[in-house]
């Protein structure tokens, strides 16, 4: 990786969960439990079936929420408020990450399949408040989830973002296919690489990757 790979980037787009904090903090484990509980109560099914629906809807629709909306017409606002009512104390601040994000030239935004209020709480817990020009949640995409290209197009139009001068950081490799097709530089942040034509770079740790990148600016 060299700065040359990112010399044209004017907007830096970051996913939230398992991207702006490492998976080892296991915040999303809490959300998955609440998702399963919500499905059990809303649909009147047992835990095993609810857990199956949670996972299968995520696989088929991009998010469990999208599947519940398509198959059961649930209220997205009530669902999002409930499943994100979790303990954020498992997250710790990352001053080095904050320094590297602040050093990126141009606009910096967060775009998540969760909602924006939850994203703001994660940023606060990680010591990243005030570093981003905008925070977009699934509500800003009319509840259409990544990896749908229409979801990206809706959020990027709202932000007036030019994909050809932007980079996307994301832990879910499938969510980088549409950004790549739109002309973005793509970075997969995950413990293990998933080689694919739509992934330009892979890194196990976002802080380390941005540290190497910003030293070259």
The tally of domains found in the chain comes to 2
Q: Are residues 196 and 116 in the same domain?
A: yes
Q: Are residues 38 and 119 in the same domain?
A: no
Name the nearest CA neighbour of 155 among 118, 122, 182, 130: 182
Which CATH number do you get for residue 100?
3.40.50.1000
Residues 6+ apart with CB under 8 A from 189: 15, 18, 19, 169, 170, 171, 202, 203, 204, 205, 206, 209
Q: Are residues 14 and 51 in the same domain?
A: no
Which CATH number do you get for residue 57?
1.10.150.450
pLDDT tens-place values along the chain, 217 residues long: 566 799 999 999 999 999 999 999 999 999 999 999 999 999 999 999 999 999 999 899 989 999 999 999 999 999 999 999 999 999 999 999 999 999 999 999 999 999 999 999 999 999 999 999 999 999 999 999 999 999 999 999 999 999 999 999 999 999 999 999 999 999 999 999 999 999 999 999 999 999 999 987 7
Q: Which residue has the tokens 């007036």?
A: 160
pLDDT at 216: 77
Q: Are residues 109 and 15 in the same domain?
A: yes
Which range marks the domain in which residue 203 is found? 3-21+92-214
Q: Are residues 158 and 116 in the same domain?
A: yes
Q: Are residues 106 and 210 in the same domain?
A: yes
Name the nearest CA neighbour of 70 among 55, 51, 57, 79: 57
pTM of the model: 0.94
Residues 6+ apart with CB under 8 A from 99: none
């Amino acid at each position: 990786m060299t700065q040359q790979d990112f010399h044209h980037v004017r907007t830096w787009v970051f996913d939230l969960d398992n991207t702006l904090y490492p998976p080892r903090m296991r915040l999303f484990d809490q959300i998955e439990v609440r998702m399963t509980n919500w499905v059990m109560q809303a649909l009147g099914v047992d835990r095993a079936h609810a857990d199956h629906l949670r996972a299968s809807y995520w696989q088929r629709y991009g998010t469990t929420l999208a599947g519940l909306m398509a198959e059961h017409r649930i209220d997205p606002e009530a669902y999002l408020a409930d499943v994100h009512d979790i303990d954020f104390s498992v997250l710790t601040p990352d001053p080095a990450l904050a320094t590297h994000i602040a050093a990126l030239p141009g606009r910096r935004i967060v775009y998540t399949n969760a909602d924006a209020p939850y994203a703001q709480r994660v940023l606060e817990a990680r010591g990243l408040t005030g570093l981003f020009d905008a925070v977009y949640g699934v509500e800003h995409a009319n509840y259409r989830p990544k990896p749908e290209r229409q979801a990206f197009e809706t959020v990027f139009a709202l932000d007036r973002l030019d994909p050809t001068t932007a980079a996307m950081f994301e832990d879910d490799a499938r969510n980088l296919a549409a950004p790549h097709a739109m002309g973005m530089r793509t970075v997969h942040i995950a413990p293990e690489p998933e080689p694919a034509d739509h992934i330009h770079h892979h890194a196990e740790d976002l802080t380390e990757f941005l540290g190497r990148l910003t030293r070259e600016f």
